[in-house]
Amino acid sequence: MKNLFFALITFLYSAFFAHAKVTDNLPTPGVETEVYMGDRMVEQRSGEFIECLVPNFNVEEKAEYAGNIYVIKKGIPMCEEEPNSKVYIPPYVNALKGSSFLGELTYEVKIKKEGSNTKMCFLAPFKDAYCKENLSSNDYSFSKNLRSTKDSFQRIIEYAGKKGSVVKFIYSEFKDDMLRGAFTREFEVDLNDGNTVAYKGCIFEVIKVNNATIRYKVIRHFKN
């Protein structure tokens, strides 16, 4: 009875909380980070964490089914569209036109196990379009990635360059992945007055800067 109770709690957590809206801040406070001019220095994102399948190998192979060339890209996450579906969609076309009349396609991908054979399969209506067979636990992994949701909000600070002792930054806001132009601001800091920068509640320390890169450490992120 106790095991049944804990199983029910686990199920309810997965169903209702695993995909709850969250706020995520990058980079980790207190850790020195270096970026190039034009890169994002500080980022606050909202959305939901989704499960992703990450292959640890590359494939570009022509298979019998439909005459396509099937592609798997190492290190690029394929993520669930629906919570707990265990079906993953890559962010790229994974079936290139070979001799196929179908043209380029993006197949959903699923891990399947048949006895000792673990395979990564491209799902099709009547049979799998392609399977990479005999995978080991080192050939793939799972990760949690943040995906924007409806009404998602994002704030960023970018490094915009340096002139003398003056360092320039750009603050931007996004709603539903669209730039809110009216809220974009350029601001600057004179390092002769100190190397601590504070803007919109975010505080970071400039450690080293030149025309190409900036090394810094976040002290406090934007408030939620």
**Taking 90 as the threshold, does the pLDDT of residue 177 lie above it?**
no
Judge: domain 17-46+150-220, CATH 1.10.3470: no
Task: Note the pLDDT of residue 17.
Answer: 44
Chain segment 18-54, per-residue pLDDT in tens: 456 677 788 999 999 999 999 999 988 777 788 999 9
Task: Note the pLDDT of residue 7.
Answer: 42
6, 7, 20, 70, 152 from 3: Cα distances, Å: 5, 6, 25, 43, 37
Task: Note the pLDDT of residue 193.
Answer: 94
As a whole number of angstroms, the distance between CA 120 and CA 132 comes to 5
Chain segment 86-106, per-residue pLDDT in tens: 999 999 999 998 766 667 889
**Do 89 and 107 form a contact (C-beta atoms < 8 A)?**
no
Task: Note the pLDDT of residue 102.
Answer: 65
Q: How much helix, strand and coil, in percent to the nearest 5, is found in the chain?
A: 10, 50, 40
Task: Note the pLDDT of residue 60.
Answer: 93
Chain segment 56-71, per-residue pLDDT in tens: 999 999 876 667 899 9
As a whole number of angstroms, the distance between CA 222 and CA 224 comes to 6
Percent of the chain, pLDDT > 90?
60
How distant is the alpha carbon of residue 170 from its chain centre?
A: 22
| Cis amide leading into 27 (omega within 30) | yes
Chain segment 115-126, per-residue pLDDT in tens: 999 999 999 988
**Taking 50 as the threshold, does the pLDDT of residue 14 lie above it?**
no
Task: Note the pLDDT of residue 182.
Answer: 64
- Segment among 11-20, 33-42, 149-158 with least mean pLDDT: 11-20
Task: Note the pLDDT of residue 11.
Answer: 41
Q: What is the mean pLDDT of the chain?
A: 85
CB burial class (10 A; 0-12, 13-18, 19+) of residue 42? buried
pTM as predicted: 0.56
**Do 47 and 41 form a contact (C-beta atoms < 8 A)?**
no
Ordered by start, the domain boundaries in the chain are: 17-46+150-220, 57-138
Other CB atoms within a 10 A radius of the CB of residue 220 amount to 12
User: For 5-30, what is the mean pLDDT?
Assistant: 60
